[in-house]
Structure formats: C-alpha cells, structure tokens
Amino acid sequence: MADRRRYSFYRGLFTGDVLNFSKRSPFVKEIMFERIYPTKIILPMKMHSGVPAVPAVEVGDYVRVGQCVGVPEKGTFSVPVHTGVSGKVTDISDIRLPNGILTPSVTIKNDMKRTRLDSIRPRSGFKLSAQESIGIIRDAGICGMGGEGLPTAAKLKRARTEVVRDFLVNCLQSEPYSTSDLVAITEYPDYVVLGSCACARVVGASKCVFLISENRTEQRRSLQNSIDKIRADFKDLEFEIKLFRERFPQGYYRLVARAIYGKNLALGETLEKSCRAVLFNCSTMLACWEALSDNIPMMSRIISVTGDASGGHNMLVPIGTPVSEVLSNVQDINNGSYRLIWGNCLTGIEIRNPENTPIVKTTSVISVVRKAEVPRTPCIHCGLCSECCPMNLSPNTIYEMLNQGLRQKASEEGARECIACGSCSYVCPAGINLTTAIASFAGEGRIIEINSLLDNSSAEEMSVEELTPSYVGETSLLENYTEEDEGSSKKSPDSITLPFEKDKEV
Ligand code: SF4
Ligand code: SF4
C-alpha cells in the first residue's frame, strides 16, 4: 500500500510564500536554465571537508576540460580538483574564501574553445565492482554538494562497512529561494535516479528512498518516471518516494532521522549506525552518475542566483567561476543597495569581493538580498527563537551564557547541538545575531563528525591512503579504471552490475 504519511520534525521555520518564490506557480515554468562560460576560473584547492589538494600544474601550462589540476597529497583525507574550462594557467596563489579559509588556488584563463580530454566520453557496456565504483567517484573529486563537502567516496565506504539498509536521497532543498537541486531533478532525473541506484548497490542497501517535499509535484513526477524506466534493471532494489512537509531546515541528517525513524541522534551518532541508513544529496548523485557513466569529473554544477533583490535564475557554471562573472549574466538585479551572500540568505556568508570569490563544489546558491536595517534592541524575551529552533534549544539563554563567558553552562544547555540553520537570527525582532555566536561555539562538534568518518574509512579494507589518488598528469584520473575494469570485476567478490544504456557508443 502506498505510504500516505507526510514526514516532518517539530519546529523549524515555515517561510511560506514570503521567501519561497519557487512555489509561485508562474515561476516554476519560467525557470531559465542558463549555461555560463566565464573568461576565467579560480579553483581553490580546498572546497571540501579535509586537507586541501596540491596544485598539479604550473603557471603557463595549457589545460583541457576535465583535466586534474589539484591532487591530494598521498595519505591525506582529500579530493582532487578538475578544470571545467580549457586554457592557460595564469596564476597559482593563495586566496581567502568568504568562510575565512585561506587556500592555494589555480587561476585558468578560458580560451573559450572548450577543448576536452579525450578520456571524457561515455563508458560503454561493462561492469563495475563496488570497489571500482568508489574509486571512480573518489578520482572524480566528488564531495557532498549540499552541505559540508564530505568526500563522497569516504562516505560510501563508511556506509558499506556499516551494512546499511536504506539509501536515502535528499531532494528536500528547503533553503529560502534556492531551487538548484530541484532543477537538477527536473533536467536530469534519469542521472539522479541511476546515480542513486548505483550508489545504493555500492553500499549494499536494499531500498532506495527519495525524500521530497509534498509541494514539488513536478519533481516527484520526474523521479517516478525515471524509477519506472529503470526498475527492471535494479530488481534487487526496492524504491520509495517519501513526502515531507515543507519547512526549513528539512534535509539535515539528524532531522531526517527524527522524521523517518523517530530517533534523536546525539552529536557524533551516525545515521548509518543508528538507523541503518545513509543520506546523500540528489545533486551529488547526479555527479556520481556523470562520473560512472560518462567519465566526467566534478567540474561544473547548477547554482541558483536569486533573492528579493533579483529575479530567479538557475545556471550551469564551471566550478571556479567568479561570482562577479555570474552576476554579469544577470540583468534583473534591483538598483539600489543589496548584499551578496555565498549560500542561502539564512546560513550563507556575505561576499565582500565578488571578483575573487569563486563558485565552489558546495555552493548551491548566490543570494542577492536587499539591505534591511533591523534596529538592534536588547532581548525582549518574546520566545520566537526557541519556538523555531529545530534542535529544541533556547537560543536566547545560550546566547546570554556565551556572552557572560559561561561556556560549560552553554554546553550543558545543549549549545553544541546547534546546526547553524540561522532560523533564530531570522525571526528575532531585536535583530540579535544569535546564530553566529552559538554556531561558532558549536563548530568544534562538526570536527567530531568528520573525524568519525575518517576513523571509519580507515578502519576497513580501503585505507585513507587508498582513498587518495596517486597519479597526476594530463589525464582526467578516471580513465585509469577503464583498463582494469573488465577483468577485475569478474574476480571481485563484491561484484555488482551497473547497467548502462545498451546503445551508448564510445
Ligand atoms: S540555535 Fe542553532 S539550531 Fe537553533 S535555530 Fe539557532 S542556528 Fe538553528
Ligand atoms: S527572538 Fe530575539 S528577542 Fe525574542 S527571545 Fe529570542 S533573542 Fe530574545
């Protein structure tokens, strides 16, 4: 029987139509999907959780689309970086990203010829083992595109070790204004579904579950059509679409655990261990299938450029495109003063230097919002911040404790549970920036999460060293797998079959 439930968690933010223009019916049909070809790209070596990659090119080198320009140092927890344009390397120097990270970056002047590596071509009719699939995803430089950028290969590896049952695909994009994930589903539903099925097989899950807001009718239909098309090729997998009520921040893994499994995960507890499930973003699944099927590394992504000071746009941009070049393609930014936010308008960070701020692997939206002057007053104890906090915290109490230096007490009050969703600051009528104070205190907790991933990845048969690509040069890194796949997949005890389109020619 069909699951008629609507899943959700308590509290959170209901932005309704005020912040969610994509729900207005005419807009959905008017989404413009544009492709941007920038004059240059700036590729930071650190766009993910973990150690920065190391530049693998020199100033003056000519690079082609898909080429690896940054490699992880052997033995480090990192992912490679690839270029999405062809042209000359003009600079290698440190840049500071809006989040404060100082990272080496490779600047490439686009020759607009889009000369690509020969190795970027569809893979045709062969089988891949789970291990090989993880290797391809690792070498494609894929990291989580919806959050902190955890290396996808390491997360798959951990899920495989934990023997998960449910493979959850996060199609819940609930941030105000953003629709980039939804456009990924509408434009490439087969890739999202096939990537999810492939990764579900890699981790050994028996069920592939797509989580989506009940309001996203068009995307639900797209997913359902794609599932119906490929169901026969994945008979070992059960499929389900779970509908969620719309509220922010719906897609965070601890809130998903609460909504679906009724479990309150403690900080550091994982979905894999506690719920036998793993959660991946739908755009990440699209990137995985591009790597597995077409040999395309992670070198471009869909972003939204939107806010109350601009119209709604979704664009496919090479990773590394400067924000200034993105904006030069948008004509409808309102005159007057606006703020540029790297990320969504609740949790993003203000961009001070758009010429030197690139789109990175985790950037799903550039928000263009009006400068609102909220008069700052002392707390009026209205309780709104507590009412909306999805982690059931009392942000005003914690804020006061931190202001008085009572860190231990703030910790006991649950401050480390904060997920930096920004809801409390958004609703506060006194204009108090609660989020910055509480989230930066809680930030140390995030390290626990990354460390647990690292520990689990290294504990099993594929070590951190093996999670690091070991070859550089004029390759996309992916082509090395084409030589060994046929033979090794037959031998491999963990052999799986990923069906490719039968008439796809290399
Ligand atoms: S305290 Fe943290 S989790 Fe709670 S609403 Fe504020 S930012 Fe979100
Ligand atoms: S929302 Fe702002 S004013 Fe209201 S209780 Fe929280 S901190 Fe105080």
Q: How confident is the prediction for the chain on average, in pLDDT? A: 82
Tell me the pLDDT band of 13, cut-offs 50, 70 and 90: low
Q: What was the pLDDT predicted at 126?
A: 60
Instruction: List the residue whose alpha carbon is closest to atom 5 of ligand 1.
Output: 389
Q: What was the pLDDT predicted at 239?
A: 97
391, 432, 433: which to mutate for ligand 1, most atoms within 8 A of CB? 391
Please, what's the b/e burial string for 132-169 (b: 16 or more CB within 10 A of its CB; e: otherwise)?
Answer: bbbbbbbbbbbbbbbbebbbbbbbbbbbbbbebebbbb
Ligand nearest to the CA of 414: 1
Distance 383 CA to ligand 2 centre (A): 6
Tell me the pLDDT band of 444, cut-offs 50, 70 and 90: low
- Atom nearest to 381 CA in ligand 2: 5
Distance 379 CA to ligand 2 centre (A): 5
Q: How many CB atoms lie within 10 A of CB 314?
A: 23
Distance 437 CA to ligand 2 centre (A): 14
Evaluated on CA atoms 396, 402, 404, 408, the torsion sign reads: positive
* Average confidence (pLDDT) over 347-366: 91
Specify the range with the lowest mean pLDDT, choosing from 18-27, 280-289, 433-442: 18-27
* Average confidence (pLDDT) over 160-166: 92
Choose between 48 and 176: higher pLDDT: 48
Distance 420 CA to ligand 1 centre (A): 5
Ligand 2 shell residues, CB under 6 Å: 379-385, 395-396, 427-430, 432, 434
Query: Do the strands 338-342 and 349-350 form a parallel or antiparallel pair, or are they unpaired?
Result: antiparallel
Comparing CA positions, the residue from 251, 176, 252, 261 lying closest to residue 213 is: 251
Q: What was the pLDDT predicted at 268?
A: 78
Q: What was the pLDDT predicted at 177?
A: 78
Helix axes 282-294, 180-187, angle to 10 degrees: 40
Distance 112 CA to ligand 1 centre (A): 44
Tell me the pLDDT band of 348, cut-offs 50, 70 and 90: confident
Tell me the pLDDT band of 454, cut-offs 50, 70 and 90: very low
Looking at the predicted structure, is the pLDDT value of residue 499 above 80? no
254, 421, 426: which to mutate for ligand 1, most atoms within 8 A of CB? 421
H or E stretch including 218?
helix 217-230
Looking at the predicted structure, is the pLDDT value of residue 76 above 80? no
Most confident of the ranges 12-16, 344-348, 421-425, 484-488: 421-425
- As beta bridge partners, residue 305 has 313, 366
Q: What was the pLDDT predicted at 371?
A: 73
Looking at the predicted structure, is the pLDDT value of residue 436 above 90? no
CA 133 to each of CA 71, 111, 173, 292, 367: distance values in angstroms, whole numbers, following the listed order: 19, 33, 27, 7, 35
Q: What was the pLDDT predicted at 364?
A: 92
Side by side, the strands of the sheet bearing 277-281 are: 6-7, 238-244, 207-213, 166-171, 277-281
pLDDT tens by residue, 254-264 = 999 999 999 98
Looking at the predicted structure, is the pLDDT value of residue 495 above 70? no
Distance 351 CA to ligand 1 centre (A): 22
Q: CA–CA separation, 172 vs 248, rounded Å?
A: 9
Residue 215 is classified by DSSP as T
Q: What was the pLDDT predicted at 483?
A: 31
Tell me the pLDDT band of 147, cut-offs 50, 70 and 90: confident
Backbone dihedral region for residue 473 (phi beyond 0: left; psi -120 to 50: alpha; all else: beta)? left
- Based on the number of CB atoms within 10 Å of its own CB, is 404 exposed (0-12), middle (13-18) or buried (19 or more)? exposed
- Atom nearest to 386 CA in ligand 2: 6
Q: CA–CA separation, 457 vs 363, rounded Å?
A: 26
Most confident of the ranges 3-7, 377-381, 435-439, 463-467: 377-381
13, 377, 385: which to mutate for ligand 2, most atoms within 8 A of CB? 385
Instruction: List the residue whose alpha carbon is closest to atom 8 of ligand 1.
Output: 421
Cis geometry, peptide bond prior to residue 249 (ω within 30 degrees of 0): yes
* Average confidence (pLDDT) over 266-292: 93
Place of tokens 């961009």: 351
Phi and psi (nearest 5°) for 484? -100, -10
CA 201 to each of CA 159, 181, 296, 364, 370: distance values in angstroms, whole numbers, following the listed order: 11, 23, 20, 27, 46
pLDDT tens by residue, 39-61 = 999 999 999 988 999 999 999 99
Q: CA–CA separation, 80 vs 47, rounded Å?
A: 10
Q: What was the pLDDT predicted at 233?
A: 86
Structure tokens at 371: 């400068």
- As beta bridge partners, residue 6 has 243
Looking at the predicted structure, is the pLDDT value of residue 460 above 80? no
Ligand 1 touching residue 435 (CB < 6 A): yes
Domains (range + CATH), the chain: 1-30+121-296+477-506 (3.40.50.11540), 384-457 (no CATH)
Ligand 1 touching residue 410 (CB < 6 A): no
Instruction: List the residue whose alpha carbon is closest to atom 6 of ligand 1.
Output: 424
Residue type for position 284: T
Q: What was the pLDDT predicted at 370?
A: 80
Q: What was the pLDDT predicted at 373?
A: 66
Tell me the pLDDT band of 474, cut-offs 50, 70 and 90: very low
Distance 309 CA to ligand 1 centre (A): 26
